[in-house]
Structure 1
């Protein structure tokens, strides 16, 4: 497909290795350990029959995430590029599918995640200090504007902010773990009430577990900016998954110890209930601050990586050429950040209009996200066949079994994200279809651009 690449873009500055391993781990851990761990454990508890199964579900989630990380380790070390998934899809399937991915990431996946996390911050801040009827939306919009501005200032400032937020987030979560293990009285709550046969679904529980683990694949977008090079990325991915799984197991065990499985399943704010049992009502205020920090951490990391795909889109398609400009002074794609921020603000507006912002944006992003994650898994098989002579510093062990497990898991979650969601999923799929129409119109747009140049 002819994309009318713009030669004027070629001499511009390009991404350079500027991130340490600590920076990269902070980005990944910051994205994954977000507000989900304060919401989804109750849903997992409601779909597991015992405390043991509850904990095993989280261990399995860590194992599946590790398998996915190993697949990404091969792709990122073999094809390191700021475009991440976009670059892998381009090499495997060509620019048509890669265009649809970049379009979806810009309009659905990444911007939807930013809006979702901003809503979480807005909801908690408005409970602690209301500034009017629309305080949640105002706070959410401020999150997008401020964090986008921080990342525009430069990679050093953005990465430094990410490390600080991640440290605060992990310390806050560990404080919940300490409270649960050493301060709160353990409650003996039966997993199943006598005479009752609860309806459980381990498969549905895994949907929520893997949703909470989501985000580790963002490492692909910083592979070209890692100082330690290709081998360093393997360590970054494995260490990140290990840290995330350990933290999740600790906090889930604390929930189980204090609340028990039944009370957890009935809780709408499981972390808040744990802190209330430990410190009274003041504990709820503390958890509000912690959730806000967790969401800010994930939002900042998501903004940081999301603009990298928009930059790659601008480099390859002339119609989006304004996105493909890299600012050498700040070492960041400024235009890509600004467009991403504008779309995120628009989605915050959409969530406000539906009066159900968080749930609407979750439904909006999920099917599109899992579809393209499945395609990346398939791309590993395709690239093994298309480029067998390419040097691969790291190869997925037990190939093709582990990549196949990754693909089957992604396919199941794609199915679940359509079956278990509502109108928001249809809107997200509709936006993806709009990208298909735009793709078909690109040749005509290119002709008009060429005519104007003449």
Structure 2
């Protein structure tokens, strides 16, 4: 039996610990195990590798602290969608929700699901992406895609049975993930610390370089080339640090949301920043710059794990990434449908998504999300789609934080139990940083920008076609 209960009748099952684990679990997927390879190819030195991760962490923390004010003002299901709607209008909010459904959330779910399957293949070769199940001229179905879809379906079903099931799974898997990464870092820095490698990595630690495929060598860079390298390197680190805002989507089910959302954003992003920076320090202590830059399939963690554990290191990392991606996808699936629920209540999404099932969760929205994420798994293009929206995601983050300034003027009457830390300086710094990165991407990585803009702009006629005329 279904019902149309308002969101204030959703079960408030999530504690501060649950919300914090949702932030951490949604952020840590497979990126930290992989993207440092590309970062080193872009900036080429130990110091700049750490700078990229520290800079990414500071940017993310600044954004999270600013979102705390918005979450205290509007502790409702939908989170960032609601903030954009209140600061601007329904069209701007819809374009964010459209991008989230079309690519950002569902594409990430697909990509994380396939990452789970690819690393499962280390243990069970039958689920490898090289195991082709069916093939035609234009389409290829492999075992990894089927396993990814199976995981997405199972997690979706579990989350349709109530938020309590999802939160228990999320908290348990995230705690295991944190402990596993902490163990890897500690063992790497203590038992496998290689003084020779460490000194070699830092011998030219502050000389930025970029890999030139034509010259087959690293070339020193400065000025505009260094800026281009930083911007290109941060594509991976920013996506590895993304999804921290997912906790705002599920605000209607968090206890004491005015306090706990902002606090969980701060704690969660801080924990992940410390883990990410520490992991890269461990890489530098166990693995040469050359090995990091050219790790097979960019799997830096596998190379580092070999240095720590020997041959069994591959299996250990495979298990860790399976745990990490499984928990990450649970968080993404749990939170995403709450945005479509709020959009449907606003009349800008399929109306069935506004219906709560007997477990007081948006079951229909969860299954629609599952269907589209599974379809993206089959296309094999989810990785390209995610690259396209790096630019778009940053724009919406900047617009949302600009909304803090707008709402201070527009709605000074609303109670703000928490105010953005460092306002107006830190929110302004984030906006400037985000815009600078976007400009850099427009100039130096156009393939990451224009397709993303097109995806968002396609949402404009869709908005008017589905017919919300209330402006």
8 Å contact from structure 2 (residues 4, 356) kept in 1: no
CA shift at 1:16, angstroms? 3.7
Question: How far apart are the structure 2 equivalents of 1:429 and 1:292?
Answer: 33
1:317 to 343, 347, 351: 347
Distance change >3 Å, CA 11–CA 287, structure 1 → 2: closer
Give, in whole Å, the separation in 1 of the partners of 2:372 and 2:444. 26
Does the 8 Å CA contact 1:363/1:417 hold for their aligned counterparts?
A: no
Contact 1:83 1:309 in 2 (8 A): yes
Aligned to 2:152: 144
1:301-347 deviation digits (Å, cap 9, x = unpaired): 011110000101111117621100122x4231001101000110111
Using the alignment, how far apart are the partners of 1:46 and 1:424 within structure 2? 18
Contact 1:137–1:348 (CA<8 Å) still a contact in 2?
yes
Give, in whole Å, the separation in 1 of the partners of 2:7 and 2:54. Answer: 45
Q: Which of these residues, 336, 358, 373, is aligned with residue 306 of structure 1?
A: 336
Deviates more, 1:206-215 or 1:412-421: 412-421
CA shift for structure 1 position 428: 4.4
Contact 2:35 2:236 in 1 (8 A): yes
- Deviation string for 1:336-381 (max 9, x for gaps)? 1010001101111221xxxxx4632322432332232222122222
Separation in structure 1 between the aligned mates of residue 394 and residue 91 of structure 2, nearest angstrom:
18
- Partners of 1:69 and 1:78 lie apart in 2 by 15
Q: Which of 363, 368, 378 is 1:349 aligned to?
A: 378
Kindly report which structure 2 residues correspond to 1:165-176, keeping only aligned pairs within 5 A, or say none: 165-176=173-184
390 and 31 in structure 1: CA distance in 2 versus 1, 3 angstrom threshold: same
Alpha-carbon separation, structure 2, partners of 1:319 and 1:253: 45
1:318 and 1:102, CA in 2 relative to 1: closer, same or farther beyond 3 A? closer
Q: What is the match of residue 83 of structure 1?
A: 78
Query: RMSD across aligned C-alpha pairs, in angstroms?
Result: 2.6
- Partners in 1 of 2:144 and 2:270 — Cα distance? 34
Asked if residue 156 in structure 1 is aligned to residue 164 in structure 2, the reply is yes
Q: Structure 1 length normalisation: TM-score?
A: 0.88
Runs (5+) with no aligned partner, structure 2: 133-141, 208-216
2:24 matched to which residue of 1?
29
Q: Deviations over 1:100-127 (max 9, x none)?
A: 2222211121111111111111212234
Deviations 1:206-265, CA, capped at 9 Å, x for gaps: 443323221212221133322133122232122112211221122111111111334322
Distance in 1, matches of 2:110 and 2:165, equals 22
CA–CA distance in structure 1, aligned partners of residues 261 and 428 of structure 2: 22
Post-superposition offset of 1:280? 2.1
- For 1:196 and 1:101, locate their aligned partners in 2 and report how far apart those are by CA, in whole Å: 39
Partners of 2:423 and 2:451 in 1: CA distance: 37
Do 1:112 and 1:365's aligned partners in 2 also have CA atoms closer than 8 Å?
no
Given candidates 234, 248, 255, the residue that maps to 1:220 is: 248
1:197 is displaced (CA, Å) by 4.4
Alignment of 1:12-91 (within 5 A): 14-48=9-43, 50-91=45-86
Show the 5 A alignment for 1:253-264. Answer: 253-264=281-292
Distance 1:365 1:346, change over 3 A: farther
Runs (5+) with no aligned partner, structure 1: 1-7, 352-356, 447-454
Q: Distance in 2 between matches of 1:429 and 1:318?
A: 20
What SS does the corresponding residue of 1:369 show, helix, strand or coil?
A: helix
Match of 1:209 among 222, 237, 242: 237
Structure 1's 300 and 438: CA in aligned 2 closer, same or farther, altered over 3 A? same
Q: Give me the whole-angstrom Cα distance separating, in 2, the residues matched to 1:27 and 1:123.
A: 24
Aligned mates of 1:313, 1:416 — CA distance in 2: 32
Name which of structure 1's ranges 208-217 and 282-291 shifts more when overlaid on structure 2.
208-217
TM-score in terms of structure 2 length: 0.85
In structure 1, distance between residues paired with 2:25 and 2:425: 30
Deviation at 1:154, TM superposition (A): 1.0
Partner of 1:289: 319
| Cα displacement (A) at 1:10 | 6.7
**Alignment match, 1:340:** 369
Q: What is the CA–CA distance in structure 2 between the aligned matches of 1:358 and 1:420, rounded to whole Å?
A: 22
User: Could you tell me which residue of structure 2 aligns to residue 451 of structure 1?
Assistant: none
Q: How many Å separate the matches in 2 of 1:85 and 1:222?
A: 10
Aligned residue number for residue 182 of structure 1: 190
In 2, the alpha carbon distance for the partners of 1:183 and 1:9 equals 57
Q: Evaluate the alpha carbon distance shift between residue 100 and residue 112 of structure 1 in structure 2; reply closer, same or farther with a 3 A threshold.
A: same
Deviation of the 1:410 alpha carbon? 2.4
